[in-house]
């Protein structure tokens, strides 16, 4: 009976992983489409896009890149920790990942806040006064970085659920597929930002 139960559990885990990979594929298609749209408009308005990028805070963008890279490392280390039956370290590493995600959002809040303070946001009078190239750049900036921030929030919710599951031992050394899927999603969030940062902030 236990052997049959293990087999069913293994099959459920594989289905869960496959489901996550399919979801990640759809997310890559979504952002891939946005990157394509961005590339087309950037080729049409290179000067406007370059000038628009000069209004962004490269320091905050670079800091957020480092924050996400470290968070990807800590969530990967959490998987290793749970495999080694180190529940306490797993919880610490998930907690650090959540803290870094929060730092990312705080940085983004201040970055967006500065734009809003100067009247630059979707639908504002200032946006409507911009020429087509600048308007397209900032529209894409707010939409793509906003969509990414939403993914960060979803990722944080997944990690909070994962933290609780590890704490109550629903996730253990021999059953941690939920943690693996959460880590995969988090790596996706990191990967998207690695493309977003140079595209939006480092236009030469």
Window from 15-29, 36-50, 184-198 with minimum mean pLDDT: 15-29
- Report the pLDDT value the prediction gives residue 123, as an integer from 0 to 100: 87
- Report the pLDDT value the prediction gives residue 1, as an integer from 0 to 100: 46
pLDDT digits (tens, 9 = 90+) for 117-175: 989 988 898 888 999 999 999 999 999 999 999 999 999 999 999 999 999 999 988 88
pLDDT reading at 203 higher than 70: yes
pLDDT digits (tens, 9 = 90+) for 53-69: 999 999 999 999 999 99
- Report the pLDDT value the prediction gives residue 121, as an integer from 0 to 100: 87
User: Residue range 74-78: average pLDDT?
Assistant: 97
User: Residue range 79-107: average pLDDT?
Assistant: 97
Q: 2-201 belongs to which homologous superfamily?
A: Cytochrome c oxidase, subunit III, four-helix bundle (1.20.120.80)
- Report the pLDDT value the prediction gives residue 16, as an integer from 0 to 100: 81
Q: Residue 155 corresponds to which tokens in the numbers above? A: 């990722």
Query: How many CA atoms within 13 Å lie on the side-chain side of 35?
Result: 15
Boundaries of every domain in the chain: 2-201
Place of tokens 């529940």: 87
- Report the pLDDT value the prediction gives residue 50, as an integer from 0 to 100: 93
Q: Quick one: what percent of the chain has pLDDT higher than 70?
A: 93
pLDDT reading at 9 higher than 80: no
- Report the pLDDT value the prediction gives residue 19, as an integer from 0 to 100: 85
């Amino acid at each position: 009976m236990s052997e049959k139960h293990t087999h069913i559990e293994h099959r459920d885990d594989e289905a869960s992983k496959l489901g996550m990979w399919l979801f990640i594929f759809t997310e890559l298609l979504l952002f891939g489409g946005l990157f394509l749209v961005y590339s087309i408009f950037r080729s049409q308005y290179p000067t406007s896009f370059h000038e628009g990028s000069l209004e962004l805070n490269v320091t905050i963008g670079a800091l957020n890149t480092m924050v996400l890279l470290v968070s990807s490392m800590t969530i990967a280390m959490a998987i290793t920790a749970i495999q080694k039956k180190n529940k306490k370290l797993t919880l610490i590493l998930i907690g650090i990942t959540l803290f870094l995600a929060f730092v990312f959002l705080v940085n983004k809040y201040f970055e967006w806040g500065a734009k809003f303070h100067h009247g630059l946001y979707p639908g504002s009078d200032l946006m409507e006064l911009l020429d087509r190239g600048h308007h397209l750049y900032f529209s894409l900036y707010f939409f793509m970085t906003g969509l990414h921030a939403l993914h960060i929030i979803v990722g944080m919710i997944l990690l909070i659920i994962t933290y609780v599951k590890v704490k109550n031992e629903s996730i253990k050394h021999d059953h941690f597929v939920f943690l693996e899927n959460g880590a995969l999603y988090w790596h996706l969030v990191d990967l998207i930002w690695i493309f977003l940062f140079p595209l939006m902030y480092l236009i030469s």
